[in-house]
Structure 1
Amino acid sequence: MEVYTIFGEKVKTHTATPATGTFNWNYNSLGLAPGVYIYKLRASGNSKTYETVKKMVIYR
């Protein structure tokens, strides 16, 4: 997962290697200021790569 500011600056990169099947992950936003961010999530399996890009809001 890569996290970007709304201006396109990459601020965090996270990598995980889960076991086969469903994978749940709680994202720790420490170190990020409150605001709107864009995240890109990429997953590979069965010789296919899946990618999604979404917005997230961090507030405290």
Structure 2
Amino acid sequence: MRTCFAWLSSSSARNGLAELSQIAIDKLTVAPTAKLGGVIGEADDALLFRVSRALALLFHVV
């Protein structure tokens, strides 16, 4: 069984999203730094809290 956490995130100048977007967390993976692009935007504290909570639940830390 695969666990996935998903929610919607509104667009804003701060986060760099152009429209309402879906965010999903279902696995972690490693990406080489050379393959990463520039900064698009940044997440607010509420979104980071939801991401942290989803990762904790995914890895059964809580």
Tell me the TM-score range normalised by the shorter chain: under 0.3
Judging by fraction of residues, say which structure has more strand: 1
**More helix per residue:** 2
Q: What TM-score does the superposition give when structure 2 sets the normalisation length?
A: 0.25
